Structure 1
Amino acid sequence: MFTCARCNNNVSDGVTCSGCRRQFDFSCAGISEINFRKLGERRNNWRCSDCKGVSTPVTRDTNASLQSQIEEMKASLAFITRQLTPLATLVEDVKTIKADLAHLKDSTEMAHESVRQLSDSVKSIDDRVSCLEESQNSVSKIRDTLTMIQDDLRIKEQLARSNNIEIKGVPFKKSENLYNLVYKIGEVVQTPIRKEDINYIARVPSPQGDSQKNIIVALHNRYTKEEFIAAARKHKGLQLSGLGFSSDLKYFINDHLTLHNKSLLKEAKRLASDNNFRYVWVKHCQILVRKSDTSPIIRIKNENDLQKISREKD
Structure 2
Amino acid sequence: MLTYSFKRLVQLLVTVLGVVTLVFFTMRLIPGDPISAMAGDSLSGAALDQMRNQMGLNDPLLVQYLGYLARLAVLDFGSTVTTKLPIIELIVGALPITVSIAIGTIILTVLISIPLGTVAAYMAHKGNRVLDNIITGIAMVLDLMPPFWTSLVCLLIFSLTLGWFPASGTVSIDDPVALLRRVALPVLVLSMAQVATLARITRTSVLEVLNEDYVRTARSMGWSELHVLFRHALKNAALPIVTVIGLSFGNLLNGTVIVEFIFTLPGIGNLLVGGMNSRDYQMVQTLIVFYAMIFVVINFATDLIYRVFDPRVQF
Same fold (TM over 0.5): no
Bigger strand fraction: 1
TM value normalised by structure 1: 0.22
Which is higher, the Rg of structure 1 or of structure 2? Answer: 1
Bigger helix fraction: 2
TM value normalised by structure 2: 0.22
